[in-house]
Amino acid sequence: MESADRGERGAAGPGAGGGRIASLDQFRGYTVLAMFVVNFVGFFAVVPAALKHHNTYCSYPDTIMPQFFFAAGLAYRLTWLKRAATTTRRRLVGRFLRRIAGLILLGVLLYGSGAVAESWLDPPKPGGPPLAARLLGRELFQALVHIGVTALWIMPVIGARPRVRIAFAAGSAALHVALSHGFYYEWVMTFPGIDGGPLGFLTWAVPMLAGSLAYDVLAAGARPAAVRQLAAWGLVLMLLGYALACLNRVTPPNQYSGGGLCGLLVEPPFVPPTQKVNVWTMSQRAGSISYLTFGAGFSMLLLAAFVWACDVKRFALAPLRTFGSNALAGYVLHMVLDWISKPLLSPDWPPWSCAASLGLFLACCYLGVRALEKRGIFLRL
């Protein structure tokens, strides 16, 4: 994968232009900026629940990670087709395997070192899982590792026709549901796992392959038509994700005791549940299929808005371009700054202190990524 590569220049089709895909850079830049904000402010008690991650429903912060996978899938498809036209299959696969291995290794180093340092500063309680078990079952399976493993999982179909990719996504989702009903949901929720745990790639494949389909839409025709198609399919996926969440009401063993909306519907996304939850509930921790189908649709609808604003109306923001063209550097930098700053902060700070510290944090992130941009230093996925 090449998340911010010259491979993203000149998507095929009318309206693509000869430079970078402005809407993709802006979309990815928004996603990076939103990640900075929600990861930082979630530390403070005064921040409303709508701006914090939750394990039993989809809040605003929970929409961010699927957007990374969606953007990665779009770039993955673009660069795969571009390279496939100029090299052999063997060299193509080898090139992407090396990039994926590098991404996973970077994730292992980042998350592993962070977990070791945290364990040293704050030793785990007696009776808890040992560090090795926490690493293999939880700490290592965060964004970069998930993206790498998911990219490896979908590699056999990334260059295939749309119907093949759709069938692969559906099959991956069905396998995840079967394993979740068997044992995995209970394990990942109680261990607890992060972002779907070791088997999360089965459902993270949904937004990544949705991104690959979005590339096909952008490459096929003029941007106004692409906006309509992306928006329509985004809404369909969002409704499908919600419909899957509503299977909570009819799937035995039924953990609901009544109530709900009209007796058949669960609370919509962004609204906390009032009843018990199960494998169909939108949950980033579980990596549930309802959550990631909804997240894929939300990402597609948001991309449609960026295509209209950036590719049709020629509107763009320089900070989003900076973040979007060097997303991996921004991710790594924000993690380092977060590790440095959190010991200096207090979760009980009042709103004005939270706002001031957030402003300083965002400024440092931007200045760091901007400095790399000025020097022509880009970290590639």
pTM: 0.90
Helices (H), 199-317: 201-220, 223-245, 289-306
Q: What percent of the chain lies above the pLDDT cut of 90?
A: 76
* pLDDT(260) > 60: no
pLDDT at 287: 96
Spatial separation of the C-alpha atoms in residues 321 and 27, rounded to whole Å: 9
Cα(341)–Cα(358) distance, rounded to whole angstroms?
11
Q: What is the pLDDT of residues 31-71, one digit of tens each?
A: 999 999 999 999 999 999 989 998 999 999 999 999 999 99
pLDDT (tens digit per residue) in 114-169: 666 665 555 566 666 666 777 777 888 999 999 999 999 999 999 999 999 999 99
Residue 7 pLDDT exceeds 50? no
Report the mean per-residue pLDDT for the chain: 88
Which of 121-125, 133-137, 332-336, 372-376 bottoms out in mean pLDDT, i.e. has the lowest?
A: 121-125
**For 290-299, how does the pLDDT look when each residue is reduced to its tens digit (9 = 90+)?**
999 999 999 9
Rg (CA), the chain: 20
Tokens matching residue 374: 């000025």
SS3 20: strand
- Residue range 63-89, pLDDT digits in tens: 999 999 999 999 999 999 999 999 999
E strand map for the chain: none
Distance CA 18, CA 350 (A): 49
C-alpha span between 186 and 180 (Å, rounded): 7
Query: 218 or 20: which carries more pLDDT confidence?
Result: 218
Q: Can you give the pLDDT at residue 257? A: 46
Instruction: Please tell me the predicted confidence (pLDDT) of residue 255.
Output: 46
Structure tokens at 51: 């701006």
Q: Look up tokens 């198609």; give the residue.
A: 229
Q: Tell me the DSSP string of 245-273.
A: HGGGGTSSS----S-SBTTTBPPPTTS--
